[in-house]
């Protein structure tokens, strides 16, 4: 089976390509390199010893998409190509809606033309807004998103539901990620955000490695066990495997639209993550408590039952593996 992976050189995309190739799928990557590096392609080739077709460009480019579908015999698409910086989405909503929604419309148009109707879509737990209860089930209400990034994911989910309603020969899996962290155990691929990181784990690793002086913990007065925010951190390699399980469900069963949470079902606080990171990596992570970050919620973790029952998906790696692999990646890439 040949899979087009859009955004395949990004953080989650690259780990998913690695799993796809390891499991015998053929992979075609489309990436515009706006938040990724061409070096990742070489690293994927070295890691997997497999061939990978690569096209540089943005999914908005219909001619390029047509060219790919004509050249390659694509059987399915996994779509990761999107911007994901929550804060930036607030200041640049048009950019976010164009890149995260308009591009998907172009993709769906071309997929329809070439009768490729299997799609795994990269969504986010952010579509649940501020959840009334945790753990969060797929059937819980979505909406009240607090930023254009989250709303863009919600819009695409709705577009996919409408598409499926209009034509039930589509096979679609919408995957709602919780908080992916960690890196491939080889240390060859991982998360390498440009500039000052907005997310917790990339910030922690930069403090641990001395690149940044101190972590700011955004609030310790939430109604959680230690007052800091609680999230469902999931190892990116587990998350990547979830995509292959979703794809194989679409291959086997077909003709449905499915929605799954991909999380571990366990919540950890900011201070849990800091102390585990310090323990497994034998480093000190200085931190200070500061004001809450606007738009943050107290707790967010998955009910992971549906993905387990229907996909056989279960996270195998724990919080210690996530902390170890995240730091290993950074140290390995600093040495070079």
174 touches 242 (CB < 8 A): no
Segment (H or E) for 234: strand 233-235
Q: How far apart are CA 324 and CA 255, in angstroms?
A: 40
Which residue out of 96, 149, 222, 258 is catalytically annotated?
A: 149
Among 54-62, 88-96, 197-205, 319-327, the segment contacting ligand UFG (CB under 6 A): 197-205
Say whether residue 235 binds ligand UFG (CB under 6 A).
Answer: no
Which residue, chain included where needed, has tokens 């460009």? 57
Closer residue to ligand UFG, CB minimum distance, 85 or 237: 85
> Nearest to residue 106, comparing CAs of 57, 164, 152, 60?
60
The correct pick among 15, 43, 84, 235 for binding ligand UFG (CB under 6 A) is 84
The correct pick among 6, 124, 261, 281 for binding ligand UFG (CB under 6 A) is 124
328 touches 185 (CB < 8 A): yes
Residues paired with residue 241 on neighbouring β-strands, in sequence order:
none
- Interface of this chain with ligand UFG, residues 275 to 314, rule: CB under 6 A: 293, 296, 300
227 touches 219 (CB < 8 A): yes
287 is catalytic: no
Closer residue to ligand UFG, CB minimum distance, 24 or 210: 210
221 touches 52 (CB < 8 A): no
Say whether residue 231 binds ligand UFG (CB under 6 A).
Answer: yes
Residue 174 CB-density burial (10 A; 0-12 exposed, 13-18 middle, 19+ buried) = buried
Overall residue count recorded for the chain in this entry: 336
Tokens encoding 179: 């908080």
Say whether residue 203 binds ligand UFG (CB under 6 A).
Answer: yes
Say whether residue 86 binds ligand UFG (CB under 6 A).
Answer: yes
Q: What are phi and psi of 10, to 5 degrees?
A: -75, -175
Tokens encoding 163: 């598409």
Q: How far apart are CA 184 and CA 237, in angstroms?
A: 6
Among 25-33, 199-207, 260-268, 301-309, the segment contacting ligand UFG (CB under 6 A): 199-207
Q: How far apart are CA 180 and CA 238, in angstroms?
A: 9
Closer residue to ligand UFG, CB minimum distance, 188 or 215: 215
Say whether residue 151 binds ligand UFG (CB under 6 A).
Answer: no
Closer residue to ligand UFG, CB minimum distance, 98 or 216: 216
Q: What are phi and psi of 39, to 5 degrees?
A: -60, -30
Segment (H or E) for 326: helix 319-335
Say whether residue 262 binds ligand UFG (CB under 6 A).
Answer: no
Among 27-35, 97-105, 212-220, 315-323, the segment contacting ligand UFG (CB under 6 A): 212-220
Closer residue to ligand UFG, CB minimum distance, 67 or 206: 206
- For residue 302, give the DSSP letter: B
Among 107-115, 123-131, 134-142, 163-171, the segment contacting ligand UFG (CB under 6 A): 123-131
Say whether residue 126 binds ligand UFG (CB under 6 A).
Answer: yes
Closer residue to ligand UFG, CB minimum distance, 250 or 270: 270
**Of all residues in this chain, which one has the CB nearest to ligand UFG in the complex?**
229
Closer residue to ligand UFG, CB minimum distance, 8 or 129: 129
Segment (H or E) for 217: strand 215-218
Active site residues per annotation: 149
Which residues are at the interface with ligand UFG (CB under 6 A)? 84, 86, 124-126, 150, 178-179, 198-200, 203, 215-218, 229, 231, 270, 293, 296, 300
């Amino acid at each position: 089976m040949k899979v087009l992976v859009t955004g395949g050189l990004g953080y989650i995309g690259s780990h998913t390509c690695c799993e796809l190739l390891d499991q015998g799928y053929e992979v075609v990557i489309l990436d515009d390199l706006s938040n990724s590096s061409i070096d990742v392609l070489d690293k994927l080739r070295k890691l997997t010893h497999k061939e990978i077709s690569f096209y540089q460009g943005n999914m908005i480019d219909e001619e390029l998409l047509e060219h790919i579908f004509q050249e390659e015999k694509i059987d399915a698409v996994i779509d990761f190509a999107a911007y994901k910086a929550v804060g930036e989405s607030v200041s640049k909503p048009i950019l976010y809606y164009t890149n995260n929604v308009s591009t998907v419309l172009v993709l769906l148009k071309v997929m329809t033309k070439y009768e490729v109707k299997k799609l795994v879509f990269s969504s986010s737990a952010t579509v649940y807004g501020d959840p009334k209860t945790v753990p969060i089930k797929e059937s819980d209400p979505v909406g009240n998103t607090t930023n254009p990034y989250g709303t863009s994911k919600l819009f695409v989910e709705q577009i996919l539901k409408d598409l499926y309603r209009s034509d039930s020969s589509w096979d679609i899996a919408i995957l709602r990620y919780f908080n992916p962290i960690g890196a491939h155990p080889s240390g060859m691929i991982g998360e390498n955000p440009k500039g000052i990181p907005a997310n917790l784990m990339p910030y922690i690793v930069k403090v641990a490695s001395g690149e940044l002086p101190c972590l700011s913990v955004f609030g310790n007065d939430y109604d959680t066990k230690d007052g800091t925010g609680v999230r469902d951190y999931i190892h990116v390699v587990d998350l990547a495997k979830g995509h292959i399980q979703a794809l194989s469900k679409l291959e086997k069963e077909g003709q449905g639209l499915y929605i799954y949470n991909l999380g571990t079902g366990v919540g950890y606080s900011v201070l849990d993550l800091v102390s585990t990171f310090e323990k497994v990596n034998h480093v000190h992570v200085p931190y200070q408590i500061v004001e809450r970050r606007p738009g943050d919620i107290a707790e967010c973790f998955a009910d992971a039952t549906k993905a387990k029952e229907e996909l056989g998906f279960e996270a195998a790696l724990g919080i210690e593996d996530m902390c170890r692999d995240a730091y290993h990646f950074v140290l390995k890439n600093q040495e070079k």
